[in-house]
Chain A
Amino acid sequence: MASDLQHKPQLAALWARPETLLARLFDHRIAGIATALLALMVFFSFASDAFLSVNNLLNVTRQVSIMAILSVGMTIAIISGGIDLSVGSIIAFVGVIVASAMTDLSLPIWVAVLFGLATGAAIGFGNGALVALAGVPAFIATLGTMTALRGLTYLYTDGYPIYNLPTAFAWLGAGYVAGIPVPTILMLLVGAVAYVVLSRTPFGIHIYAVGENETAARRVGVRVARVKLLAYVACGILAAISAIVLAARLRAGLPTSGFTYELTAIAAVILGGTSISGGQGSVIGTILGALLLGVLANGLTLLNIEPYVLEVVTGGIIIVAVLMDSLKHRKRAS
C-alpha cells in the first residue's frame, strides 16, 4: 500500500493541476467527445463546401442551443440519480402558455417570459415532489407528467398553434448581439452557470453525492429529498428556457413542439460522458454532445442525405455511447 501511495501524487501531477472536481473526474470523457466532434467537423469541412463558414457554424450553434439548454437540465436530473422524461412536453406546454399570455392576455413580453419560467419551475417541483417526497421512480413519475402535460397542451389549444407573437419577442430566438445569435449566448450563459453550480457549490456537490450513494449522503446530513427536488426544479426551469427560445424562433406556440426532445436530450447527455446510473457527468460534456448531434444533422443536410439516415446514425452513436458507459462500469466493478 505504501508504494501505491507514493505513486499517487506523481500521477496527480500528470493531470497538470486539475482545479476542479469535474476536471479531475471527467477530463478523459470530455476529451473523447471533443475529439469525436472535431473529427466530424473536419470530415464535413472536406465533404461539403458550405459547412466550414462562420455563418453556417454560428447557425449550428443557434440550432443546437435549444437542445443544449434542455440537455443541461437533463444532465442535472441524471447526475442526481434520476431522469426527466417530461422536458419535451414542458417545451410544448410552456411555449403555448407564454404565447397565450402574450396574445390572448396581451401581457408584456417580460411578464410572459417570467410566467413561463415559473411554470417550468412549478412542473419541475411537481416532478421532484413525486420522486423525492413520494418515492415514485423518476422514470415513471416523469413519464406520467410527460403524457399529462402533452394532453393538457392539446386541450388548451384544441391542437391549434398560437401565432402572431410580438416581433420583439422573436429577438430571443432570431436576434444577434455583437454578431452572435441570442440563443447561442443563452446556451453559453446557461452552461456557465450550470457548470459553476454543479462543480463549485455545496448544492452541486450534493447532487453528485446523492446520485452516487444516497444512503451515505443522508447519513452525513445531506438533505437528500431537498437536493433531488431542486434538481428537478432546475431541470424544469431550463426546459422552460428552451421552450421560450423555441417559441421565439418559431414566433408561435405549437402544441406539437418538443415531441421526442427528451430522447435527444438523453442522447446528448450520454454522449457527453454522463453516466446514466447517476453520480458522474458534466455540463461541458453535455454541451459538446448536443453540438455533436447538431453538427451531424447540419452536415448530413448539407450533403443532401435523407433525414432518415440521420436517425439511424444518431441511434447507432447513442448505442455505442451507452455501451462504452456500461463497459466502464463493469471494469470498475471488477
Chain B
Amino acid sequence: MPILELRNVAKRFGAVEALRGVSLSIEAGEAIGLVGDNGAGKSTLLKVISGVYPPDDGELVLEGKVRRFASPLDARDAGIEIVHQDLALCDNLDAALNVFLGRELTRGIGPFRLIDQAAMRSQAKALIEVLEVEVAVTEPVRAMSGGQRQAIAIARALLGNAKIVLLDEPTAAISIAAVEQVLALIRRLKARGHTVIIISHRMSDIFETCNRIVVMRHGENVATKRVLETDRQEVTNLITGALARA
C-alpha cells in the first residue's frame, strides 16, 4: 500500500488553475523529486498535501484512508510536515524556541505553566545534531547562515516524528558549501525511514538524492520517472515542453 496517494487533485486561485488533476502514488521511504518551471504548481501541490490549502477537487489518500486536512495542524497530526520555501523562522527567537514554536515544552501545574527552556534546548540540540549541522541553539536565529536556518526548519519538522517530510526548494537560498550539507541532510532523512518530497530547480539535487522524479507543467503531472531510467536531458525536455509526456 502506498503511504500517500493523490487522485486528480485540483486547485484554482481565481482564474489561475494552479493544479489541474494531479495524480501520484508514493511508497513509504521513497524520496520524490518534484521539478517544473516557475509557476508549474509545485509549491501549491506541497501546500495541498500539508493542509495549507484544501484541494478544490480530487482526494488525498494517506495510508489507505481518504483525508481532508482543515489546517496544517491536522496534516502535522497525521504525520506530514512541510519546510516552506521561505523557511519562515522568527528571527528574534533563539534556535531552540524556533524548533518548538507552537509546541513549547512546559513545566508547572494547571494554568501556571512556564516554558522548560533547558529541556527545549537539549532536545533541539539533539535534533539538530542528527542533521550533523552545528547550531548554537541558544542564539537568536537572526544572524544564522542559510544552512543553519534550513537545519532549524528541518529539525522542527522532525520534532513531531513526521512520516512524510516535504521540502520546498531546500537548496535555493544557500551557499554552495551549504548545499552539500543540505543534500547530506536529506539523505539522512531518507536513511532514517522518512518519506521525502523535494522541490528543486537544481537537477543535481534531485539526481543525487531521489528515487523518482515527478515533472510538473502548467499544473499537470506530465511524467513520473525512476531516476535510474531517465537523464537530465529528458527531464529538461519534459520541463520545457519540448517533450510532451513520458
Chain A residues close to B by CB (< 8 Å): 1-2, 4-5, 8-9, 12, 20-21, 24-25, 196, 200-202, 205-206, 208-209, 211-213, 215-217, 219-222, 279-280, 332
Is there an interface contact between B89 and A213, defined as CB atoms closer than 8 Å?
yes
B114 touches A201 (CB 8 A): yes
Q: Decide: A332 near B142, CB < 8 A? Known: A5-B136, A196-B114, A205-B101.
A: yes
Given contacts A12-B136, A219-B84, contact A202 B115 (CB under 8 A): yes
Residues on B with beta carbons closer than 8 Å to the beta carbon of A215: 88
Give the complex CA separation of A24 and B139 in angstroms. Answer: 8
Roughly how many angstroms separate A25 CA and B97 CA in the complex, as a whole number?
Answer: 13
Q: CB within 8 A of A217: which of B102, B114, B177?
A: B102
The reply to whether B72 and A213 contact each other, CB–CB distance below 8 Å, is no
Write the nearest CB–CB distance from B98 to chain A, whole angstroms.
Answer: 8
Asked if B140 is an interface residue, CB under 8 A from chain A, the answer is yes
Once the chains are docked, how many angstroms separate the CA of A42 from the CA of B102? 46
- Contact: A21 with B101, CB < 8 Å? no
User: Taking each of A12, A213, A215, A332, which has the highest tally of chain B beta carbons within 10 Å of its own beta carbon?
Assistant: A213
Render B92-105 as a binary contact track against A, CB cut-off 8 A, 1 for contact: 11100100011110
Q: How many residues of B contact A (CB 8 A)?
A: 36
A280 nearest in chain B by CB position: B92
A-B contact pairs, 25 of them (CB 8 A): A1-B177, A8-B136, A8-B139, A9-B136, A12-B136, A24-B140, A25-B140, A200-B115, A202-B104, A205-B97, A205-B104, A206-B101, A208-B90, A208-B92, A209-B92, A212-B91, A213-B90, A213-B91, A215-B88, A216-B89, A219-B72, A219-B88, A221-B76, A222-B101, A280-B92
Are the CB atoms of B97 and A217 closer together than 8 Å? no
Distance between A223 CB and nearest chain B CB, rounded to angstroms: 9
Could you tell me the distance between the alpha carbons of A220 and B115 in the complex, rounded to whole angstroms? 17
* Extra pairs beyond A9-B136, A24-B140 (20, CB < 8 Å): A1-B147, A5-B134, A5-B135, A8-B136, A8-B139, A12-B138, A21-B94, A209-B90, A212-B93, A213-B88, A213-B90, A216-B88, A216-B89, A216-B90, A216-B101, A217-B90, A219-B72, A220-B103, A221-B76, A222-B102
* Nearest opposing residue in chain A for B181, CB measure: A1
Check B90 against A24 for contact (C-beta < 8 Å). Answer: no
Complex: how many Å from CA A2 to CA B136?
12
B38 CB contacts on chain A under 8 angstroms: none
With a cutoff of 8 Å between Cβ atoms, the chain B residues found around residue A196 in the complex are 114
* Inter-chain contacts of A220 with B (CB < 8 A): 101-103, 156
**8 smallest A-B Cβ distances: which pairs?**
A216-B88, A221-B102, A220-B102, A8-B136, A202-B104, A212-B92, A200-B114, A5-B134
B133: min CB distance to chain A, Å: 9
Instruction: State whether A21 and B97 are in contact (beta carbons under 8 Å apart), knowing that A9-B136, A12-B138, A12-B139 are contacts in the complex.
Output: yes
Chain B contacts with A in 121-150, Cβ cutoff 8 A? 134-136, 138-140, 142, 145, 147-148
Neighbouring A residues of B140 by C-beta, 8 Å: 24-25
Flag if A202 contacts B139 (CB, 8 Å): no
Chain A residues within an 8 Å CB radius of B156: 220
The contact of B138 among A24, A205, A212, A216, by CB within 8 Å, is A24
Q: Which residues of B contact A1 (CB under 8 A)?
A: 145, 147-148, 175, 177-178
Question: Roughly how many angstroms separate A222 CA and B136 CA in the complex, as a whole number?
Answer: 24
| Inter-chain contacts of A201 with B (CB < 8 A) | 106, 113-115
What chain A residues lie within 8 Å of B147 (beta carbons)? 1
User: A219 — nearest CB in chain B belongs to which residue?
Assistant: B88
> A222 CA to B98 CA in the complex, in Å?
12
Q: Are A209 and B101 in contact (CB under 8 A)?
A: yes
Cα–Cα distance between A221 and B139 once the two chains are bound (Å): 22
Kindly provide the distance from the CB of B123 to the nearest chain A CB, expressed in whole angstroms.
16
CA distance A209 to B103 in the complex (A): 13
CB <8 Å contact, A212 and B90: yes
Residues of A close to B91: CB separation below 8 A: 212-213, 279
Taking the nearest CB of chain B, how far is it from the CB of A23, in angstroms? 11
Q: How far is the CA of A213 from the CA of B90 in the complex (A)?
A: 6
Closest-by-CB residue of B relative to A216 is: B88
* Proximity string of chain B (176-193) to chain A, C-beta cutoff 8 Å, 1 when within and 0 when not: 011000000000000000
A19 to chain B, nearest CB (A): 8
